[in-house]
Amino acid sequence: MLRGPSPCQTIPTSLLECVPLAHDAMMVVLPATHPLGNQTAVHVEHIADEPFIVSTGGCEPLITEVLRAAGATPKTQFTIRDMQTILTMVQEGFGVTIVPELALPSKSPPVCMRPLTPSVHRQIGIVVRSWAQARPAVKDLFDYAQGWAKT
C-alpha cells in the first residue's frame, strides 16, 4: 500500500504535534458503463491510456506520485477544481480520474468508483501545539471529525 505524506511530515514537529485522524483511500472514477467497472479494484496501468481529468483540489502531488510510481503518464484532457464538475464530466465520458474517497459527495452522478490496487491512501490529521494541553473544544472537534471520517 502506498501512502501519501503524513501531515506530520509537512509540519515543524518540534513546534507542533500531529494527531492522526483517518486514512483516505484514493479511488478511480469511471463512467458507469466503462469496462473496468466490472473489476473490484483498478490498476493505474489500466487507465494510463484513458483521457484523464486532473483534480486541482490539493491531492495532485499524491496522484502524480501514484502515476509516476506505476510508470504511467496520464493523457490529461482537463484540469478542474470542482468535484461535482469532475464527476459530471466523467459521467458524460470526457475521461476518468483519481480522487480521495472522502472528497466524493454523498450524492453524485451515476459513475463507477473503484479503489486503486495496490491500495493508495492519504493520511489526514489534526495539528495542535500540544495534544495533552488541547482545550476540550479541540478534542470535541477531533472526536466529531473522526466520526465523520468513519462514515
* Residue 109, pLDDT above cutoff 80: yes
Closest CA to 32 of 94, 95, 110: 110
Say if CB 21 and CB 145 are below 8 A apart.
Answer: yes
Q: What is the mean pLDDT of residues 108-118?
A: 92
Residue-level pLDDT at 149: 74
The residue segments making up the domain with residue 101 are: 2-150
Question: Phi and psi at residue 58, in whole multiples of 5°?
Answer: 125, -10
How many domains in the chain? Answer: 1
- Is 1 exposed, middle or buried (CB count within 10 Å of its CB: 0-12, 13-18, 19+)? exposed
pLDDT, greater one: 86 or 123: 86
Q: Give this prediction's pTM.
A: 0.80
CATH of the domain at 58: 3.40.190.290
Residue-level pLDDT at 4: 47
For 74, the grid coordinates are 496520464
Residue-level pLDDT at 35: 96
In tens, the pLDDT along 4-32 reads 445 555 555 567 888 888 888 999 999 99
Per-residue DSSP letters for 76-119?
EEEEE--HHHHHHHHHTTS-BEEEEGGGS-SS--SEEEEEBSS-
